[in-house]
Amino acid sequence: MEPEEKSRPDYPPINEQAVENGYRSCRKLAKQHFQPVFWTISNLPAAEHGAVCALLMHLHRGLELASRGSSDALNQDQVAEFRDDLGDAIGGMCVSPELAALSDAHQRFNIPRQFVFEFIEGIDWLMRFPPPDSWEDLLAVASRIGGSIMAAACYVFQMNSAAGNHFAIRLGQALTVTWWLNTAGRDVRRSQQRLAIDDFEQSEMDPTALTGITAGQQLTWFARLYGHRIEQLLRDTAPLLDHLDYDGVRVAKALASVCFCAANNVRLHPEMLLKDGIVTAADLRRLNTQHFLGLEPALPFSVGHHPQQ
């Protein structure tokens, strides 16, 4: 017997007040939950800033959902509700003020639907399946998580060609891998390990080593492997700068500089993987200051690109 399909609430249409309230809430949530890198978007014009904050709200809701340790059946219900809420909001229904803002950003900046929905498929994967077996599998998941959100954000930054999607996804993958490496020890303790199983086996290191207090040869090999991979993803990102407006180039460089800093830190100091983070507060202050002053950050590729005016 087929399970009875749940009926959706009869939401009112989105109105200007809901959108305004939604953007205000999204800015507050984005600053609260993404505080370490919120400075990367601090200089954006108001409309672009609000749209990126709406995407960050979407990102936060998904990551919060993926972090819950609930049953498979409940997981599927939650993902289905997430997907249906987004569908109703894109269709003009006021599911929540935050989704009203996301719907407005989607329409205002012509963000392709595929990216905001692809993110939910990535969250579904995280909730239903074990850690990826290989680096290639990890990248496939990362493209749906950070890659889809970064690609959507690049439309806010006036991406001038769909050819830029590939490079935007690469930057999103670099950000996702950096974040998972940053939280690797905590994730292992919560039985939510995200890094590739093959890499642990090749380094002859058990994932629980990331919860220890001393670094060994295996950890050094593992840290240098991921540091090198993050740098390579950033190198692949370089052509993205030719597809963005001035503000988008600044944001992309700032985000890439955080990833590159993390990659260098773990290669030089593998023991940072055993601590609270692979990018220190001092690192973030330095990168923030460089961004504020308009100084070129350290990146693994040439910054001599000419953004569209």
pLDDT higher than threshold 50 for residue 306? no
pLDDT single digits (tens) 68-79:
755 566 677 888
pTM: 0.91
70-102 burial code (b ≥16 CB/10 A, e <16): eeeeebeebbeebeebbebbbeebbbbbbbbbb
Q: Give me the pLDDT at residue 181, please.
A: 95
Q: Which residues pair with 308 in a beta bridge?
A: 245
Please state the rounded mean pLDDT for residues 202-223. Answer: 87
Higher pLDDT, 204 or 68: 204
pLDDT higher than threshold 90 for residue 9? no
* CA atoms of 184 and 176, how far apart (whole Å): 12
Q: Which residue has the tokens 């950000």?
A: 175
Q: Which residues pair with 297 in a beta bridge?
A: none
Q: Give me the pLDDT at residue 6, please.
A: 64
Query: Average model confidence (pLDDT) for the chain?
Result: 90
Please state the rounded mean pLDDT for residues 271-283. Answer: 90
Q: Give me the pLDDT at residue 69, please.
A: 57
Higher pLDDT, 148 or 211: 148
Q: Give yes or no for a contact between 20 and 46, defined as CB atoms under 8 angstroms apart.
A: no
Q: Give yes or no for a contact between 149 and 179, defined as CB atoms under 8 angstroms apart.
A: no
pLDDT higher than threshold 70 for residue 3? no
Please state the rounded mean pLDDT for residues 166-177. Answer: 97
Domain boundaries, the chain: 18-129, 132-300
Higher pLDDT, 31 or 73: 31
Q: Give me the pLDDT at residue 200, please.
A: 93
What dotted CATH number matches 132-300? 1.10.600.10
Q: Give me the pLDDT at residue 4, please.
A: 52
Confidence of residue 66 (pLDDT cuts 50, 70, 90): confident
Please state the rounded mean pLDDT for residues 202-213. Answer: 87
Q: Give me the pLDDT at residue 228, please.
A: 97
pLDDT higher than threshold 90 for residue 305? no
Q: Give me the pLDDT at residue 259, please.
A: 97
pLDDT higher than threshold 70 for residue 309? no
Q: Give me the pLDDT at residue 88, please.
A: 94
Please state the rounded mean pLDDT for residues 42-51. Answer: 95
pLDDT single digits (tens) 185-201:
888 888 888 999 999 99
What SS3 state is found at 308? strand
pLDDT single digits (tens) 126-152:
888 888 999 999 999 999 999 999 999
pLDDT higher than threshold 60 for residue 158? yes
